[in-house]
Amino acid sequence: MFTLVLHSHLPWLANHGRWPVGEEWLYQSWADSYLPLVATLERLADDGYTDVLSLGVTPVLAAQLDDPHCLSGMHHWLGNWQLRAHEAADRSLSVREHRRSAAAIERFESRWRHGGSAALRALLDAGTVELLGGPLAHPFAPLLDPRLREFSLREGLLDAQARWGTAPSGIWAPECAFTPGMETEYASAGVSHFMVDGPALRGDTSLGRPVWNSDVLAFGRDLPVSYRVWSPKSGYPGHGAYRDFHTYDHDTGLKPSRVTGRTVASNDKAPYDPARASATVDRHVADFVDVVRRRLVSESERIGRDALVVAAFDTELFGHWWHEGPQWLDKLMRALPAAGITVGTLNDARTRGYVGTPIELADSSWGSGKDWRVWAGEDVADLVALNSEVTRTALDAVERARRGHRRSDGPELRNRVNDQILRETLMAVASDWAFMVSKDSAAGYARERAHVHAHALREIAGAAAHGAGARASELATQWNRADGLFPALDARRLRGPGNGSERGNAGGP
């Protein structure tokens, strides 16, 4: 069986800058990836395809796709796209981009104006995709305090339940990061399967593997198959016929050129030709079907039973980075069954018995070196120290407030100050900031974001610690205007220190 897994994620960008890093990143990904991907899945659903793929949507991305500010900003961005198309001096570019922007506006206004949850719900209800969830705010979980790690995961699953009416049983752990013991936390939270990178399973990704002594399965990304698509040296998106991501028309910001050649300067690149690109898509679909077939045959022969092949990618590859990606995906998911290849989700693989022997899964990730260096190396030592400090500050502040409550009578009421402290803490420790610094990708923005959220929680917690309850509440309200995601986050569900659990009356006001 073949399983395609897509991981959809962006950090919280709303109200934190626009360009070159900020909301522009969200709107480009929304227009180029999320809109066409959902349209592709809807067409497949209309044609009777089910269990097409496993779709991971992180809570922090889902929050932005539902956020009124982001929805308004996206609508404005699409209108601006159409205006830029009209301004293009090249007529073929102008016509092409006008048609694309007009179609995107129509789709957004008819299917997305009430948020991403509404757009995706029909696909989940129809069984077109399996939803994979994850923890709130995308932390690098192995380095997180266990109490905050458990809280983030459970709140993330509750967030998905609220948005889509179902709590995912599978997750894409942020950065595919794992450390022993997390499997018991997964089992306790109701997670039955999760993704790791291929090397974490020592390259044997032909079956899901129970982790340590649990029933929780780890599925590994098949690197030879996945790299056929997304390889810096030989992946499909680098083909000369495809639209070039890096070359812009500086007057309009539109992309007029094709890759042409890997060593061709931007000014020398040939104009983009959609017909040439479409023909190349067809060849790459046929090639990938052949790659999958041969891999399934060889792996089945190697293990002496039917094997599983899992190809996994960031969703943003399809459309945002690789313009023709959604077209390739649409044709691929039709071509695989037509070629006699069984397609299913990770949950299908689990229920159909694509399960091998248990594995003592070690510390791992899908980052450089397949270890933790990207998030815990020397380049980000300052962020590691910051994360430890803000986590300690936040947990101490919340526990101090809850001790005060325990000396009083009555049920524990919702504490919006504690909620915002934890919200800012989770934002501060998001894995994105260390990744961006380690990869030297908008490192200044990343460090600034981590420190902004750290400052917010320190300011709120400091006021609360000095008995200035009204000031703490005012600060929490002010910071919530920018960072008001996850409104159902409830600090009462944070496990107390020690072995016990102090969840309060979680259903209260």
Tens of pLDDT, residue by residue over 140-185, are 999 999 999 999 999 999 999 999 999 999 999 999 999 999 999 9
Query: How many domains, the chain?
Result: 2
For 482, counting Cβ atoms within 10 Å of its Cβ (0-12 exposed, 13-18 middle, 19+ buried), the class is: middle
Question: What confidence category does residue 334 fall into, taking pLDDT thresholds of 50, 70 and 90?
Answer: very high
> Rounded to whole angstroms, how far apart are CA atoms 310 and 359?
18
Residue 159, in any domain of the structure:
no
SS3 242: coil
Average pLDDT over the chain reads 95
Same domain, 315 and 414: no
**Region 185-200: what's the mean pLDDT?**
97
Q: What is the token pair recorded at 85?
A: 């198309």
Residue 147, in any domain of the structure:
no
Q: What is the pLDDT of residue 410?
A: 74
Residue 501 has pLDDT above 60, yes or no: no
Q: What is the pLDDT of residue 498?
A: 73
- Check 314, 371, 412, 474 and give the catalytic one: 314
User: Of the candidates 335, 369, 403, which is a domain's last residue?
Assistant: 369
pLDDT tens figures, 337-364: 999 999 999 999 999 999 999 999 999 9
Same domain, 425 and 296: no
Residue 289, in any domain of the structure:
yes
Q: What is the pLDDT of residue 264?
A: 95
Same domain, 47 and 114: yes
For 111, counting Cβ atoms within 10 Å of its Cβ (0-12 exposed, 13-18 middle, 19+ buried), the class is: middle
Name the strands in the sheet holding 209-210, side by side, starting at the edge strand that comes first in the sequence.
Answer: 209-210, 217-220, 193-196, 170-171, 129-133, 53-57, 2-8, 309-314
Cα 504 to its chain centre, rounded Å, is 31
Same domain, 353 and 382: no
Residues in Cβ contact with 178 at an 8 Å cutoff, skipping those fewer than 6 apart:
141, 142, 196, 200, 218, 361, 363, 364, 365
Residue 508 has pLDDT above 50, yes or no: no
Catalytic residue status for 314: yes
Residues in Cβ contact with 140 at an 8 Å cutoff, skipping those fewer than 6 apart:
174, 175, 177, 365, 372, 375, 376, 429, 431, 434
**Region 376-394: what's the mean pLDDT?**
97
User: In which domain, by residue range, is 487 found?
Assistant: 377-493
SS3 439: coil
First to last CA, the chain: 47
pLDDT tens figures, 250-309: 999 999 999 999 899 999 999 999 999 999 999 999 999 999 999 999 999 999 999 999
Residue 218 has pLDDT above 90, yes or no: yes
Residue 459, in any domain of the structure:
yes
> Rounded to whole angstroms, how far apart are CA atoms 308 and 268?
44
Same domain, 89 and 230: yes
Question: What confidence category does residue 407 fall into, taking pLDDT thresholds of 50, 70 and 90?
Answer: low
299 within 8 A of 275, measured Cβ to Cβ: no
Same domain, 344 and 425: no
pLDDT tens figures, 104-122: 999 999 999 999 999 999 9
Percent of the chain with pLDDT over 90: 93
Same domain, 29 and 13: yes
Question: What confidence category does residue 406 fall into, taking pLDDT thresholds of 50, 70 and 90?
Answer: low
Report the relative pairing of strands 2-8 and 129-133 from DSSP bridges: unpaired
CA angle at 378 for the pair 376 and 384, rounded to the nearest 5°: 45
Of 170, 225, 209, residue with least CA distance to 193: 170
Same domain, 435 and 365: no
Same domain, 364 and 221: yes
Residue 98, in any domain of the structure:
yes
Report the relative pairing of strands 217-220 and 209-210 from DSSP bridges: antiparallel
Residue 509, in any domain of the structure:
no
Residues listed for the chain: 509
Residue 504 has pLDDT above 70, yes or no: no
Q: Label residues 62-95 b or e (16+ Cβ within 10 Å = b).
A: bbbbbbeebbebbbebbeebbebbeebeeeebbe
Q: What predicted TM-score, i.e. pTM, was given to this entire model?
A: 0.95
Residue 140, in any domain of the structure:
no
Provide the residue type at 410 as one letter. G
Residue 499, in any domain of the structure:
no
Question: What confidence category does residue 417 fall into, taking pLDDT thresholds of 50, 70 and 90?
Answer: very high
> Rounded to whole angstroms, how far apart are CA atoms 177 and 179?
7
Catalytic residue status for 130: no
Same domain, 178 and 248: yes
Same domain, 352 and 456: no
Same domain, 279 and 363: yes
User: What CATH number is attached to the domain comprising 61?
Assistant: 3.20.110.10
SS3 429: coil
Residue 502 has pLDDT above 50, yes or no: no
User: What CATH number is attached to the domain comprising 478?
Assistant: 1.20.1430.10
191 within 8 A of 169, measured Cβ to Cβ: yes
User: Of the candidates 323, 352, 369, which is a domain's last residue?
Assistant: 369
User: Of the candidates 369, 389, 414, which is a domain's last residue?
Assistant: 369
- Check 175, 330, 419, 490 and give the catalytic one: 175
pLDDT tens figures, 23-63: 999 999 999 999 999 999 999 999 999 999 999 999 999 99
